[in-house]
A = this chain, B = another copy of it.
Amino acid sequence: MKKGTKTKLMILQKSSNLFNQKGYMTATINDIMTETGLKKGGIYRHFSDKNSLMIEAFLFSANILKKHYEDKISIKTNGKEKLAAFIEGFIELINNEPLAGGCPIINASIEMDNLDNDDMLSHIQDSMKYLIQLLSEIIAKGQENGEFSTEVDAELNAVFILSSLEGALAMSKLFKDQSYVRNVANRIIDSHLI
């Protein structure tokens, strides 16, 4: 890997980590200079402005998350196992795995939804759509196999499950208590929600 490419990757790793924990607007270029050990010019050689860095860092986090879910789900064969693998992958966020600060998609969503940043917002929307789609496909597959009820539309079910997990993760992080997201995850798996 070229030195420039390596430096850019390092900036993305450190800044995405910082943005997901402190917030995109709260984390400053000075914070990123401290984290990376680079001067301002060393950062802006790779990104045209803070907004470009924010967007690339968000996509970097979103890709880590996508790979995390896909790795877990792809090795399972049926709908129930894939759903359990997705939920297991989701719960790991509370242990800062595969990245620190919780779900980068809901974090960025709540932070940016009232700010006038259409570029950033469209990437957050795409990532949330991806998550809903991933879960919808798992549920649809389970419905085809007769594992899940077909009473409720797969996508509506996906939105319901993802909403409850995202809300419960926020509570677990607020109270520093894993039981909120674990209880909701168990409820989804045990109950006749799907």
Contacts and interface: CB of A to CB of B under 8 A. Distances in A.
Interface of A: 21-23, 25-26, 101-102, 106-107, 109-111, 113-115, 121, 124-125, 128, 152, 156, 159-160, 162-168, 170-171, 173-175, 180, 183-184, 187, 191-193
Given A23-B23, A110-B111, A184 B171 contact: no
Nearest to A155: B183
15 contacts: A25-B26, A102-B113, A113-B174, A114-B173, A121-B174, A156-B187, A159-B183, A160-B168, A160-B184, A162-B167, A163-B163, A163-B171, A164-B167, A166-B166, A166-B167
Nearest to A121: B174
A130 to B, nearest CB: 13
A43 B127 CA distance: 40
A170 B110 contact: yes
A115 B22 contact: yes
Contacts of A167: 106, 162-168, 170
